[in-house]
Amino acid sequence: MRIHRLPPELAAKIAAGEVIERPLSAAKELIENALDAGATTISIELRGGGAELLRVADDGCGIEPDELELAIARYATSKLRTPDDLQAVATLGFRGEALASIAAVSRLELVSRPRHCAAAAFLRVEGGTIVARGHCAAPPGTQVTVRDLFFNVPARRKFLRSAVAESRAILHLVTALALAYPEVRLTLRDEGEERFSALGNGSLRDALVRCFGAAVAARLLPLPQPDEDDAGIQVSGVVSPPDLHRGSRQHLFFFVNRRWIQSRALTAAVEEAYQTAIPAGRHPIAVLDIRLPYDQVDVNVHPSKAEVRFLREHEVFTAVQRAVRRAVVEAAGIPLVRSSFTPAVMPAGGSWTEPPGRLAVRYDTLPERRVSGEDVWTASRTAAAGSAGGSAQPGAAALAPESVLEEPGLFRVLGQISRTYIVAEGPDGMYLIDQHAAHERVLYEQFRRRLLAPGAPGASQALLQPVALELGPAQAAWLEGEQQTFERLGYALEPFGPTSWLVRAVPAALAAQGAAAVEYLRAVLDQLADERVPDVERRERACWSLACHAAVKAGDVLTHDEMVALLRQLERCDFSRTCPHGRPTIVHLSHAQLEREFGRR
Ligand code: ADP
Ligand code: MG
């Protein structure tokens, strides 16, 4: 076969197909042009999902009358001059391809009037050929009308999505841009009806209300002020609290220097910050505004500019994760922060362990997170087991001078019901705690901390007699690869034949459970050797799975001190309100709810 040059018309169509894939891409390019032109009002109009008609009108700087033809020529742009400019692109557009591409595959009309011109100039183009030009009356700004997109590219036209799907995608785009540019009045009309309108008053809060509704917007948490040491990377915006989530990732918005982008890495960073705080399969809401020096982002890596590359990806990832995590932990932390609380009634039986003065402590001044006494729960179980059903107080008290039992706690344990729930009074009413879910959360966080900070002292407890662990080949292979993980969790392991191991020590948190702690290891291995999950996640799951196996079960009778110790530790968790699977650990009936229920108000 002979090689020949494509006729320019066909070459243009092929090139256009890359830039303009569907009506959504045309809408994105046109709105970006309006934003680059400094518009404060942008109106978008659709018919037939944008394939029949797509019109974007703005009040931006306009195009000089003698430059209209240049604007629709390929590789013609006002935004770049030298090759160096490409290293620090500050505008949304920069390739000079969009108008040319759209013009090649539609019937396009371009009307524009810079403020200093008395009249507007216009140009009409069909399939890339200019068919009319002239002057007309129009307000300052630019109006681009695209009709019959892909009328001359039947292959593409055939594959277009339904008008409804396309309209929805364009609405999503406009919503995203309204979040990135709260100072711009963006409006969208579809088939003559207004579908979206932004206030354009510059307030992100107001934009959030327009995009998510008032109820959701009110609950979104602002990220903490960016750290100063983040070397030019600033992350701001809002995220949802852990109990507000969605079934898809549609509500994660990332803006990098005000460019809306998609990013698997950033999505992972955000979702990781919510790790175990929201149920599996659910996703948070986030609107993140990431700013960094222009020369640290390569924006020229994707045909529709929907992705970027970071010079220091890891730093950006970390900055995002840290900011989100801080906001989430603050929101998810101790559920009881009400400094106004003073215990009204002292029980006659006097199981208060604190004098009333200490209980009036300001609860909101509790330290953010402390590790001391993290194994007290276990030790208290041992003590209780050893004291033949009597008071475990001596054993528990002997543990450590600053034993959790002696610190003022937020909860006063009243008892256990159904051998499953702990009933407690707290700063605002009554709390029911699922003992398994709560213990699972406590253990999970201890294990996870161990994984992150190996070599923590007191992490493991030697067994009096080493226990042999016989494994199947898959489990054995897996344990060999992950020996370090389990050692960090507190197991001491020694190979003992091809598929056997000797367990010499177990995690201190499980010490009281003796040989059962070895069985948990086997159960975890069985579970993990089966699953096809990436290594990092496996470690996470090892923590989950171990916590789940080792936690007290529903049906276990707990002593008073065991319950107290468990609640003290739960208070100290990052995400005290959910178990690692995202189920709630606490059900709360506030004073106000109680009063309402009893008709007191
Ligand atoms: P790019 O945006 O990459 O420069 P385009 O093909 O989208 O390429 O636009 C070409 C040029 O036309 C732009 O550089 C800009 O100068 C001008 N232009 C396009 N749209 C507008 C608009 N809405 N307002 C003002 N100028 C515009
Ligand atoms: Mg452009």
**Does any ligand 1 atom lie closer than 6 A to the CB of residue 123?**
no
Question: Atom 2, ligand 1: which residue's CA is nearest?
Answer: 93
pLDDT beneath 50: ranges in the chain: 334-405
How close is the Cα of 25 to the center of ligand 2, in Å? 11
Q: Which domain holds residue 281?
A: 220-331
Residue at 215 is within a domain: no
How close is the Cα of 78 to the center of ligand 1, in Å? 7
The answer on 546 and 563 residing in a single domain is no
**Last-in-domain residue among 138, 172, 201:** 201
The answer on 563 and 536 residing in a single domain is no
C-alpha distance from residue 276 to each of 216, 220, 252, 414, 534 (Å): 21, 19, 18, 29, 17
Residue at 210 is within a domain: no
pLDDT at 165: 93
The answer on 132 and 13 residing in a single domain is yes
The answer on 118 and 158 residing in a single domain is yes
The answer on 560 and 546 residing in a single domain is no
523 CB-near residues (< 8 Å, 6+ apart): 545, 549
The answer on 390 and 317 residing in a single domain is no
Instruction: Name the helix (H) or strand (E) containing 313.
Output: helix 313-332
**Last-in-domain residue among 331, 365, 389:** 331
pLDDT at 13: 84
CATH number at residue 184: 3.30.565.10
CATH number at residue 364: 3.30.1540.20
Q: How many CB atoms lie within 10 A of CB 228?
A: 7
- Could you tell me if 135 and 121 are in contact, meaning their C-beta atoms sit under 8 angstroms apart? yes
Residue 77 alpha carbon, nearest atom of ligand 1? 14
Q: Which ligand has the shortest distance to the CA of 100?
A: 1
The answer on 428 and 352 residing in a single domain is yes
The answer on 162 and 52 residing in a single domain is yes
How close is the Cα of 61 to the center of ligand 1, in Å? 10
How close is the Cα of 382 to the center of ligand 2, in Å? 70
Residue at 314 is within a domain: yes
Residue at 339 is within a domain: no
pLDDT at 227: 61
pLDDT at 424: 93
Residue 99 alpha carbon, nearest atom of ligand 1? 6
The answer on 258 and 170 residing in a single domain is no
The answer on 158 and 43 residing in a single domain is yes
Nearest residue to 217 via CA among 244, 183, 177, 184: 244
**Does any ligand 1 atom lie closer than 6 A to the CB of residue 99?**
yes
Beta strand pairing status for 286-291 and 107-113? unpaired
Question: Atom 1, ligand 1: which residue's CA is nearest?
Answer: 96
Beta strand pairing status for 185-190 and 193-197? antiparallel
Which DSSP symbol is given to 283? B
SS3 string, 415-470, reads EEECCCEEEEEECCEEEEEEHHHHHHHHHHHHHHHHHHCCCCCCCEEEEEEEEEEE
- Could you tell me if 528 and 478 are in contact, meaning their C-beta atoms sit under 8 angstroms apart? yes
Look up the pTM and report it: 0.68
CATH number at residue 510: 3.30.1370.100
Sign of the Cα pseudo-torsion (275, 281, 284, 287, in order): positive
CATH number at residue 288: 3.30.230.10
The structure tokens listed for 181 are: 């540019």
Q: Where are the beta strands (DSSP E) in 18-70?
A: 41-47, 53-58
The answer on 128 and 76 residing in a single domain is yes
pLDDT at 334: 45
The answer on 560 and 489 residing in a single domain is no
Residue at 451 is within a domain: no
**Does any ligand 1 atom lie closer than 6 A to the CB of residue 93?**
yes
Question: Atom 12, ligand 1: which residue's CA is nearest?
Answer: 71
Domain count, the chain: 4
Residue at 303 is within a domain: yes
Residue at 153 is within a domain: yes
Residue at 301 is within a domain: yes
